[in-house]
Amino acid sequence: MAAGCFLLGLAAPAQDFDLVIANGRVMDPASNLDAARNVGIRGARIAAISAAPLRGRSTIDARGLIVAPGFIDLHQHGQTEENYRFKARDGVTTALEMEVGVSPVAAWYAAREGKSLINFGATSGHLPARMAVMHDSGTLLPRDGAIERPATAPEQRQILALVRRGLDEGALGIGLGIAYVPLASREEILQLFRLAAERHTAVYVHMRNSGPVEPGAVDGLQELIANAAATGASVHVVHITSVSLRETPVNLAIIRGARKRGLDVTTEAYPYTAGMTDLSSEIFRPGWQQRQGGISYHDLQWAATGERLTAETFARYRKQGGMVAVHSIPEDIVRLAMADPMVMIASDGILDHGKGHPRAAGTYARVLGRYVREEHALTLMEALRKMTVMPADRLGMKNLGRIAVGANADITVFDPARVTDRATFTNPAQYSEGIPYVVVNGVPVVRGGDVVEGVEPGHAVRRKP
């Protein structure tokens, strides 16, 4: 009897898999596997990858389709049910709020645990901690108390204590939006790098300065490189194109050089020629036109209505606050970043009742459709690498971003001939197309191109403190 069971175990009976993704072309950038394979899933894990047929209780036929690790978005501000649906339809299985981060961390995770379509997580945020300590009335971004003056020494200690507590509660690193609190001293920022180094984690940073006019994008990056060198912290520079603009090639050269000399510096970009942020934030203090590379009111587009701004509407909406698209990034700079093997893909997405930037809904399909298929700016495998194993490695998560036995069964199945984004600046709430199946922890969340209703398989992604 015992021997029989043993043999049965070895033979892996047909019913052994809960779900099989059959006949697809499996592309796994971590192993460089690119071949017809069947993927067997048991529970929330990948249990087999086989050239021979597998049978399970349920099967997805992926003939003619690519089977890839689910995409990991390191920069997703929108962390609501609405946002998660758009992420899933864009192939994203893990959406993380790493730039602004959250505080308090434990409550944020508790609000989503067991209730999320896709995996979620966040850094311990310097901005929300500073806003709490300095009594700022802003919601996502500071607009008064946290920007009016430098923090006092006791305030700095309180801010640091809140950020440290977030790390104790499992946050994925430290989020830093220095540009939103330009009066934060160099030392206040350095202390956060020191904390990250102590905890062997990374800071995710929107750097202090942007654009070509000094102190600009190069100065902003050099602060981060100096702090990383001085403390040993890892650093991830968010949306390198929208902060660096025409200085992007210089800044990529600096990052490449720093990496060559042993610093752990990484970066990301989204595939659009406009950014978006709150018009009431410090980004739009006097001098914004120069810091954004010499743009004008007409290059700003109010998200609520899609209208282009004038001096008059700028003044009115700035008092009111709200999201504005900033058309400032040259197309050749976007393309350069997409093609650079060092630059990960991340969306910086947020949708609020259908309003926002198209990147929230379309980033991943846009890279695969426009920059891979149409423009040949990079290969499909390179694009997938920037969406899967690179962000997983940044997080230090060996169970994410891979089609491998034992890895989490987060899988995106798409049609390379059809995958495309549909979200636009005037109608951002449009699902991507050509992504018929998305699986999160072994559970299909997109099936036949539609979001599956009533499933909440997303896990909290935490760092072990």
Instruction: Kindly list the residues in this chain that would bind Zn ion in the complex (CB under 5 A).
Output: 206
Minimal distance in Å, beta carbon 77 to Zn ion? 9
Minimum CB distance to Zn ion smaller for 164 or for 206: 206
Minimum CB distance to Zn ion smaller for 116 or for 123: 123
Minimum CB distance to Zn ion smaller for 24 or for 216: 216
Beta bridge partners of 42: 45
Minimal distance in Å, beta carbon 362 to Zn ion? 18
Q: Which of 338, 348, 360, 346 shows the shortest CA–CA distance to 394?
A: 346
Minimal distance in Å, beta carbon 99 to Zn ion? 5
Instruction: Output the residue with the shortest Cβ distance to Zn ion.
Output: 206
Minimum CB distance to Zn ion smaller for 159 or for 176: 176
Minimal distance in Å, beta carbon 239 to Zn ion? 6
Minimal distance in Å, beta carbon 97 to Zn ion? 11
Our CA dihedral for 393, 399, 403, 405, rounded to 10 degrees, sits at: 140
What are the backbone dihedrals phi and psi of residue 171, each rounded to the nearest 5 degrees, phi first? -60, 155
Q: Which token pair is 262? A: 């042993």
Minimum CB distance to Zn ion smaller for 357 or for 402: 357
Q: In what order do the strands lie in the sheet with 71-73?
A: 71-73, 92-102, 119-125, 174-177, 202-206, 234-237, 265-269, 343-345
Minimal distance in Å, beta carbon 394 to Zn ion? 17
Minimum CB distance to Zn ion smaller for 337 or for 384: 337
Q: CA 45, CA 296: separation in Å to the nearest integer?
A: 51
Minimal distance in Å, beta carbon 140 to Zn ion? 11
Minimum CB distance to Zn ion smaller for 119 or for 281: 281
Minimum CB distance to Zn ion smaller for 99 or for 136: 99
Minimal distance in Å, beta carbon 238 to Zn ion? 5
Minimal distance in Å, beta carbon 387 to Zn ion? 19
Measured at the CA of 366, the angle between CA 293 and CA 334, to 5 degrees, comes to 25
Minimum CB distance to Zn ion smaller for 16 or for 97: 97
Measured at the CA of 140, the angle between CA 134 and CA 142, to 5 degrees, comes to 35
Q: Which token pair is 382? A: 């390179």
